[in-house]
Amino acid sequence: MFGNLLLSAAMITVLTGCSMTDQADSSTPKPVGTRSVDDVDSETKQISSQILDIMAVKGTMSKSGPGVSTCEGAERGKLFLMRHPWSLTGPSDAELMKAMTRLKEDLPKHGWKIVGYGPNSSKAKSLELTADHAAKKFAVKIEFWEKNSGGDTNEPTLLVNVVSACYQVPDGEKVDRF
């Protein structure tokens, strides 16, 4: 539990550029910079594509694309972050385990820092990888669901969630899609 709290604090620090104590005196989050929604959307897609390339596994991809969210505590339309949840259902547990190993070994070669790797707290104790990219201001969390894990009937799957830092839209623009 304490490790998860530290991990959450570390991700907030990397993604927002400030610690949780910096946010304590203000109810409004501080953006890490000013960028257009289209710019962050494009970079989110590139990062997801890079992660898929590192996995190097053929499988069935989910069809979801990046989506815009309001930064927690922010006024809707001014501050935003981008989330891209997607999944890859693979041929076997063994192939997806190899993909998780490749991610752990190769993400750091692309500027990512692995901040968590190991079983999560779910009933199935699914393997989970969490990484931050400080320069790009993104984080990723990847869960490996083994076939029929945790008492459920499911195919072997990697669940991926790519999240950007909180940004302010340029002057004269507003976030118009959610």
The pLDDT, as a whole number, for residue 26 is 53
Residues 94 and 99: their CA atoms lie apart, in Å, by 9
Residues 6+ apart with CB under 8 A from 39: none
Q: Provide the whole-model pTM.
A: 0.83
Q: Which amino acid is at 173?
A: E
Q: Please state, in angstroms and as integers, the Cα–Cα distance from residue 2 to each residue in 7, 22, 137, following that order.
A: 9, 21, 24
| Exposure on the CB side of residue 18, measured as CA atoms within 13 A | 14
Q: Domain coordinates of the chain in residue numbers?
A: 2-168
93-106 and 37-55 helices, crossing angle to 10°: 120
Q: Would you give per-residue pLDDT tens digits along the chain (178 residues)?
A: 323 333 333 344 344 443 333 344 455 678 999 999 999 999 999 999 999 999 999 999 999 899 999 998 887 888 999 999 999 998 899 999 999 999 999 999 999 999 999 999 988 899 999 999 999 999 999 999 999 886 677 899 999 999 999 999 999 888 877 6
- E-state strands within the chain: 60-61, 67-70, 79-89, 113-119, 127-133, 138-145, 157-164, 167-168
Q: What is the pLDDT of residue 123?
A: 86
Position 20 scores a pLDDT of 32
Diameter of the chain by CA atoms?
Answer: 51
Query: Could you give the CA distance from residue 146 to residue 148 in angstroms, rounded to a whole number?
Result: 6
- Nearest alpha-carbon partner for 164 in 46, 74, 64: 46
How far is residue 104's CA from residue 117's CA, in Å, rounded to a whole number? 8
**Domain 2-168: CATH class, spelled out:** alpha beta
